[in-house]
Every structure is written in structure tokens, then in C-alpha cells.
Structure 1
């Protein structure tokens, strides 16, 4: 490829999207380098969905140990040790970090473990002062947690720091109504922490079907999680006893031992020199790109959360793959953002794909909705008063399934297969014609009437 540059591709950011793009580009024959100022693997692997899912597994044992007694098991005195779980999670994060690093090295991708900035049209300057050039540049720097501006905000922490706590707080206030807030609320609650969620609006999990949101709110309150809506920070201050006093709008002050901000994530694009080379940015600091992930500058591309298209790891990976195939594989490829499944690893978990009921009615007009509201067999025996809800939304004229939504045990695992059917455009009749796999929760998908 081009000999006048040091590299054919220089990637800034070694998260899921950047690693996939770099590896595949190298496999296509490109000379590739990548810079990462933190650890190889990015948010998902190091401080996001992977370690969080491990905490979710750890938290679920709190209920499983209790339920086991109804299944004939004699459970003795139990004790949870946060540091054991935390350290074991760190150990596995180290393993995955090593695997990502090995993948890049195996494909002869040069790794720079330092911050990189754009200092010219094809020029990258590293923190060490080293200057390199590249024919193509890819920005894959992800996103970073948003921290609300209020007096005392420095006394709180975000999901980045949640995995590093020395001990579990007895009382925690979590700010936010999205998936991060609700997932960590469930985790801390199962570990015995008293959890209070505050949210600026009166809705949680915007974008998910309203029936499921309401069901999770109901179950979460039954589990002891408190919610304070229409609440915004006035300030946080440390008391003489070492606690945190939080003042907020529309509610009385409360004292807690920790405050966690889960108020969204913003593109991590500051101090990269993007504006200096003329890259067009959006109001939130996101990098504007076309359907092939190309910026307004022909040789500079961006993938993943820094573009603020869909902030999901599998989407970043798809975008990275498409970029590599387009630029170095002679196969112009764009990513479809239709029918992307997503999940909330709350207690119990939620999952959805396609349109919500409200979206379908607004877009299609004629809609048929099928529901299955049931108690999982395990919960029946365990005596746990917790009902699952599955919801199928169909085009009223064709019967095509345009949305599937569910809350209940293992909902994300079931949704992955069900999402294929929605993506393929299958109909309610196709589901009706499928024999149920009994006894399972998933069989409810083919038994709705």
C-alpha cells in the first residue's frame, strides 16, 4: 500500500470497535498501528459490560441461595465477601485484556500504550512526542460517563469506579434512570446495600416498552429499592460523621454512604485534535459520519460510541468490521441499525428488539399485541412473588412481528434467538406453527393467543 506514510491505518482507541477494525484491516494486508491511553479492550471489557455481568452473576446467588431451600437444599450460614468477587473479576479482566492484546500482536498490529492526538491531515502525535503518519485514520475512543454539575459532585463516583470500591456502602444513592442505573441498583440491592434511585423524570429506561418498564419498577420496589422522581441535584456535602448529605429538588435531603452517577455517557472526543484538522462534530461532541463511518474528511473515519449512533458494543464491532472491509477489503459495507436487540441486566433482566407498542401504533396504525403474563416455574416452587411478561407486537395487516419484549429470568438469552425471527420478518403464524419446547419459559413465545 502507500509507501509515503508510516502506516496504512492508525487507530486511536483500542476498545471493541477499534480492535476489530485494526485486526481485520491487518488481515486484509494493511500496515496498522493503534494507540490506547488506558488498557486494551476498552470500556466493555475493562470497566463495562463484561465485569458488570460478572457482578450480576454474583448478585443473583443472593436469591438462588434463598430459593434453594424450597428445592430441598439445606443452606447453612452464608456470608458474602465483596473483595473476593471484586478481585476475581479483576483477574478475569486481566485475562481478557491479555487476549485482546495478543490478538493485535498476532496480526502484527503495532501497539502504542499512550494517548494520541491528530496534529495534521495525516499526522498523529503521541504523548511521548513521537510523530507518525498514516494514509487512513480511525477514531474509536468510545464514550465516558457524564457527571452532573452540582456542588460536591466530586464526592460521587461513576460506573468506572464502581468496580474498584474497597467495600460495599450500606446506603447508596444512584442518579439516573437508564440501564446502568437500574443494573447497579439491582447488584447493590442483592448484596445488601440500601439503594435509592433519583431521576430527573418520572420514567425509567426510556426506549424500552412501557409495560416492561412498569413491571421492572414494580418488582424493584418490592425488592426494597426506593425511587425518587422529578429529582435533580442541588448539592452533595460530607457530614461530620463521614456520610454524604444529598439535597435535591422536590424531595427532602437524604443521607447516604455513597453517591453513584449513572446519568448517561458522552462521546470521548475532547483533546484529540479533531477540531484542529476540521472534523465536523455534533452538539454532544459526537463525530459526524456517513453510513460508511467516514467523517467529512475523506481519509478519517470513526466508529463506536464516539459517533453516538448506537452505544452498544456489538454495534461498535460491526462498524469496525464494516470499516475494514470497506477501506481495505474492497467490499463497501455499511451497518444496518434496524432490529438491534438490547438487554438490561437488572433483577430480573429485560430484553427487547424492534418497535415498542407505542412506536408501532405511531408508525403502522393497525397493530395487534399479544401478551403472556406468567410466573416462572422456578418462582412458583420458590414462593417468589415475581411475574414475567412477554410481549409480541405485530403489524395488524400482515401479521409480521415488528417487536418482541420480555422481562423475566434469562430473558436476554432467549431474546438473542428470537431477534433473528424479527430481523427475518417472520409472522405470528410462523411462531404459531412452531411446536413448543416444554417445559420452558421460552415456549410462551409460540403459545400466545
Structure 2
């Protein structure tokens, strides 16, 4: 029943129980707001349930293969290791369920009313719960419904492929798998399956993986992956057909691949279908996302949106940050906006990638002349393991200000390294600041503070 003084049932209604929505709900409730959150699937969203967390656990599983192999060079004698998919799946799923319970408990403790239902918008202040038919009046509505994987472009037999949603439901490890795509998800899962022993083909229509990343990082990852799997660049799938209990993939050049599974990791789209946005006059942008201002407010003053549904930066920590900023601004009287310019991020490929700031071309477009410092080396561990492994580190420095505006790392624990470096770059550290920092020896990270001579020639940029 609506509050007689306000005419609203709640102060905030959150549609979506992912990372951004949960953070916004908890912070708003902490300011005394009456908050209701509706989630039609499982609390925790893509990251916790079928994204970052279960995927990273699978990445860890795959990396043990390298560790077992490398151990011999350090004097260890091991029986041939065996991997069991069912054990990994069981333990991974149990951890996801545990985390989901923590999310739900934290919401309850914050005083948030959680409803297991789909919510759609009826007007600027009203949402309808689809299963119960109940209507809830809210002073503010926050849309935090995330995005979903898509299979693009559509091809004959596309229904035979799975996406990053269904990959976590596989009861058996495929002996042969084709991964289609060149972004985070494709690269990470191809690395996982190859490490776990599946015969893996990674196919990408571009001439390099990870569009938008530093060009040399892209090339180096491609070289490393070509040693770990069947990497096919500048290729596309023409059609998929059932063949003797397997899947026959016909490629654009007429060649064929017979595999047990096809994972389509070619993109994601905001979850806006049937949400009711047209009823309130919210028009989507070219990417099918909800346009918002820097404070996450849509064209309708009472409706906000955070996370992947806005297509600003589709990363879980960004969604969390946006949700927190929204709650502080609207309910805490502490207005602030998320800075999307410098976002540390990692790709959990093997070798791993960590990035903060701009690649060379973007840096030049923004800052003018830049200096590029680069180090390529064999990691210390590989000297005894014998593994054919290289590390690549780059600093991009704005010449006029001496500020470090881009850091790019490819190698072991790159994500951990870039998290720490991201603090310095976000604070506006200069190359001189890096130079006067004493190195931690012997580490790979020390290279970031010992590079003294900039590269002379800029490499040409690819089109992939």
C-alpha cells in the first residue's frame, strides 16, 4: 500500500539483481530509503552466476596443467595428472550458490525487499510484477538488468551453438570445441578449454584478437595462442550442421571442422526487450542501450540505469561503481559521477592481460605526442621450466605533461599488477614518478619502473 504522505510504495525500485543493482539497493537502503528489488532469475547477475566468477575458477583449473608441466624443471616428479570435468563443475557450482546466498543475505540485512519476479515498467513511477500482477509505485526506478549473449551474424544452424550462458551447464567436457569470436569471452574460454585438454579452435573474423586493445598486445596474444590451440584469424563460419552426433562447421573458405561443441562468443546486447521503455518514451541508442547522463539518469527524470544495459563500459566493477554513485547522488545527498576514462581491466587469457588507460592511437588523439616505453623478456620462472613464454609491458606517456596515460601488460598475474598500477595512473602519476619508484627485485613488475628509453618507431596499426 502506498505511503499516504508520498503516494509511493517505495522510494526506490530496482529492476535487476546483478552487481550494479545490488550495490545501488544496499547503499540506498543504508540512507534510509525504502527499497524493493526484483530479480527474475538468480541474485548476483551475470558476473556471479554465469560470468566472471565461475569463469575465473575455470581459468584457475586450466592453469594447473602448466604448473604440473613446469614442476619438472624445478625438481618435482609427478604422476601424470588427470582432470575430471564433473568435479570442477560440482565444486564451481557450489561456490556460485554460496556467493548467491551471500548476496541475498546482504540485501536482507540492509532491509531491501527482494522479489523473485520479472518487473516491467508501466509509467514513470510504476512497475508491474509479471507473475503476481502486483503494481508497485516508486519515487525512483533503477534499471540494472544487464545484457545477454547473442549469436552474430545469424547463420544457418546457429541454434546448434551454445553461448557463454550455456557453457556453464555442460555436463561433459567436449573433446573438440570451436570458439567463435575475438573479444574477452571468446579469448578466455578458448584458453580454458585448450588448457583443460579439449582440442580447441578459436576462429575470429578480424586479423587480430581483442579489438580496441594495444596492437602489440594483440599480436603477442595471437602468437601465444597459436602455440596453444588452432587459431584461425580472418575467418568466419558459413553454416553449422549435425553430422554423426557431432557438429560440422563450414567456414567461409569452404573448409570444414567437425567438433562436439560450438561456443558463439560474438557479442552481447542489453536486456531491454519487453521492459516497457517505449511506454515512458525512452528511446534506445544505436547499440540498443538506454542513454543516460553522467549521473545515470535517463530521459525520464525518475528513471535511472546502470551497468551493461547502458553500454558505457560493460565491466562488473564499473556497474558496481555506477550503482554506488547513483545511490549516493539520489539518496545520500552526495552527488558524484563515475569517470569512465581510466578503467583498469584484465583479460584472463593465458598469458593474462592487464590494461589501464589508452593505447597508442587513442593517447595520441587525446594528448598529442606520446612516448612509448616497452619491455619484452622471458619470465624468470621459464628459465628453469623451459616453457616458451614471453612477457610484454608497455607504458604510454603524454610528452607534454609526462603523465603515464596507458599501461599494458601481457604475462603472468597481469591483472594483479594492473590493479596496483591503476591506482598510480588514476592519480595522475608521471613517468618521473615511475622512475623514482624503487624496483622490487626479482619480479616481472619491476620492469614498469626501470624502463628508461622510449621506443623510436611507432608500429603500424592493424584493422582487426
The range that moved more, 370-379 or 352-361, is 352-361
Pair 1:400-2:403 in alignment? yes
Residue 249 of structure 1 deviates from its aligned partner by 1.5
Per-residue CA deviations over 1:322-343 (Å, capped at 9, x if unaligned) read 1101111111211111210111
Q: Is the 8 A contact 1:376 1:441 kept in 2?
A: yes
Unpaired stretches in structure 1, ≥5 consecutive residues? none
Counterpart for residue 304 of structure 1: 307
Query: How many angstroms apart in 1 are the aligned matches of 2:125 and 2:426?
Result: 40
Residue 248 of structure 1 deviates from its aligned partner by 2.4
Residue 15 of structure 1 deviates from its aligned partner by 0.2
**Where does 1:52-201 land on structure 2 (aligned, <5 Å)?**
52-127=55-130, 128-148=132-152, 149-201=154-206
Residue 353 of structure 1 deviates from its aligned partner by 0.8
Pair 1:445-2:448 in alignment? yes
Query: How many angstroms apart in 2 are the aligned matches of 1:208 and 1:145?
Result: 21
Query: How many angstroms apart in 1 are the aligned matches of 2:21 and 2:245?
Result: 42
SS in 1 for 2:349: coil
Q: Is the 8 A contact 2:209 2:221 kept in 1?
A: no
Which TM-score applies when normalising by structure 2? 0.94
Query: How many angstroms apart in 2 are the aligned matches of 1:365 and 1:27?
Result: 45
Say what the alpha-carbon RMSD is for the aligned residues. Answer: 1.2
Counterpart for residue 365 of structure 1: 368
Query: How many angstroms apart in 2 are the aligned matches of 1:219 and 1:229?
Result: 14
Query: How many angstroms apart in 2 are the aligned matches of 1:394 and 1:355?
Result: 10
Query: How many angstroms apart in 2 are the aligned matches of 1:251 and 1:30?
Result: 60
Residue 215 of structure 1 deviates from its aligned partner by 0.6
Counterpart for residue 5 of structure 1: 8
**Where does 1:278-289 land on structure 2 (aligned, <5 Å)?**
278-289=281-292
Q: Is the 8 A contact 1:230 1:250 kept in 2?
A: no
Per-residue CA deviations over 1:301-346 (Å, capped at 9, x if unaligned) read 0000000010000100010001101111111211111210111000
Counterpart for residue 33 of structure 1: 36
Query: How many angstroms apart in 1 are the aligned matches of 2:429 and 2:124?
Result: 48
Q: Is the 8 A contact 1:183 1:344 kept in 2?
A: yes
Query: How many angstroms apart in 2 are the aligned matches of 1:50 and 1:419?
Result: 21
Query: How many angstroms apart in 2 are the aligned matches of 1:272 and 1:447?
Result: 53
- Runs of 4+ in structure 1 off by over 6 angstroms are none
Query: How many angstroms apart in 1 are the aligned matches of 2:161 and 2:92?
Result: 23
Pair 1:208-2:213 in alignment? yes
Q: Is the 8 A contact 2:225 2:231 kept in 1?
A: no
Residue 447 of structure 1 deviates from its aligned partner by 1.0
Query: How many angstroms apart in 1 are the aligned matches of 2:264 and 2:146?
Result: 18
Query: How many angstroms apart in 2 are the aligned matches of 1:89 and 1:119?
Result: 39
SS in 2 for 1:8: strand
Q: Is the 8 A contact 2:208 2:222 kept in 1?
A: no
User: Paired residue for 2:239, among 235, 241, 244?
Assistant: 235
SS in 1 for 2:409: strand
Unpaired stretches in structure 2, ≥5 consecutive residues? 453-464
Per-residue CA deviations over 1:16-71 (Å, capped at 9, x if unaligned) read 00000000000011000000010000000000001100001110000001111111
Q: Is the 8 A contact 1:280 1:295 kept in 2?
A: no
Q: Is the 8 A contact 1:228 1:251 kept in 2?
A: no
- Tell me how many residue pairs correspond in the alignment: 447
Query: How many angstroms apart in 2 are the aligned matches of 1:360 and 1:137?
Result: 37
